[in-house]
Amino acid sequence: MERTIICISRQYGSGGREIGEAVAKKLGIPCYDKCLIQKAAQEAGLSETAVAEYDEKGEDFGIAVSGNPFADTAALGEAFYSEEARVFEAERRAILELAEKGDCVIIGRCASAILRAAGYRPLSVFIYADSADRAKRIAARNNLDEKRALHKAQKVDRMRKHHFDFYADTLWGEPESYDLMLSSSEYGVSGAASVIASAKEEMQHE
User: Cα angle at 81 between 98 and 165, to 5 degrees?
Assistant: 65
User: What is the band of 90 on the pLDDT scale with cuts at 50, 70, 90?
Assistant: confident
The SS3 call for residue 65 is coil
Q: What own/partner pairs with CB < 8 Å and gap ≥ 24 does 52-61 have?
A: 54/83, 54/84, 54/87, 55/87, 55/108, 55/109, 56/156, 56/159, 57/155, 57/156, 57/159, 58/155, 58/156, 58/158, 58/159, 58/162, 58/163
Residue 112, pLDDT score: 94
> What is the spatial distance between Cα 191 and Cα 18, in angstroms, rounded to a whole number?
12
User: What is the band of 37 on the pLDDT scale with cuts at 50, 70, 90?
Assistant: confident
> What is the spatial distance between Cα 167 and Cα 100, in angstroms, rounded to a whole number?
21
Region 36-62: mean pLDDT is 64
Q: Is the per-residue pLDDT at 14 higher than 50? A: yes
Residue 96, pLDDT score: 93
DSSP state of 170: S
Q: Where are the beta strands (DSSP E) in 11-147?
A: 31-32, 104-107, 123-128
- Residues 144-176: pLDDT tens digits? 999 999 999 999 999 889 889 988 989 999 999
- Residues 114-142: pLDDT tens digits? 999 999 999 999 999 999 999 999 999 99
> What is the spatial distance between Cα 180 and Cα 155, in angstroms, rounded to a whole number?
24
Reported pTM: 0.82
User: What is the band of 205 on the pLDDT scale with cuts at 50, 70, 90?
Assistant: low
- What's the alpha-carbon Rg for the chain, to the nearest Å? 18
Q: Which of 53-67, 145-159, 185-199 is predicted with the least confidence, judged by mean pLDDT?
A: 53-67
Q: Which amino acid is at 126?
A: F
> Taking the C-alpha atoms of 144, 148, 149 and 151 in order, what is their torsion angle to the nearest 10 degrees?
-160
Residue 70, pLDDT score: 37
User: Cα angle at 124 between 187 and 150, to 5 degrees?
Assistant: 55
Region 15-28: mean pLDDT is 96
The SS3 call for residue 125 is strand
